[in-house]
Amino acid sequence: MTELRHSGLRTPDPAAHLTPLIFEPAPAPGSATTPAVDPLAAFVDSTRGWGAVQAPIPPGATFGLWLLAAVNTLLGGWSVAVLTDATRCSGLLCRVVTLGGRPALLLGLTACCVLTLAGSAVVTGALTRASGGQLGLLALAVVSGGAAVLGVVLATMFLTVAFMVVGGLMFMLTDR
């Protein structure tokens, strides 16, 4: 700081803002002034991320996953029978169930679902607990299995509506 002679006020030194802050250098590792073990680093090294922690899967979701695996196993077996011409598949209903007449696509989706769930069951305690990556695999299985079952669900809804319409018409005709 420089001083003004006449006014008695101090003005800041113009070069003061250019002077870098000087910190004392860190002591060399192992010297008497540094601790032997950094407690924060030791704590961080002993922890693990949340992605590695297995969280419990609710029993209802576990049941749903096993049910999805069973339905996809049956559907995959049926698609193998269609692909090998062991069973006949024709008409609108078959076309809807095989996702537009593509039994190979249906087999691929069901295989992806069943194999992913079977592999995940080994590391998740029979689908009762899962970590972050394992939940990602379960989501893949649900998406592929859900897409495979979509044709069956659509056909079931179509048949349900058709039976309701026929039942309603029969009720109207017999109620007179």
Query: How does pLDDT run across 93-112, given as a tens digit for each residue?
Result: 888 888 888 899 999 999 99
Domain that holds residue 109: 53-174
Residue 116 inside a domain? The answer is: yes
Separation between Cα atoms, residue 108 and residue 111, nearest integer Å: 5
**pLDDT at 38 (0 to 100):** 77
Residue 2 inside a domain? The answer is: no
**pLDDT at 14 (0 to 100):** 59
**pLDDT at 25 (0 to 100):** 62
Residue 74 inside a domain? The answer is: yes
Share of the chain above pLDDT 70, in %: 77
Residue 31 inside a domain? The answer is: no
pLDDT at residue 7 tops 60: no
Residue 43 inside a domain? The answer is: no
Residue 24 inside a domain? The answer is: no
Domain count, the chain: 1
**pLDDT at 17 (0 to 100):** 55
Residue 29 inside a domain? The answer is: no
Residue 83 inside a domain? The answer is: yes
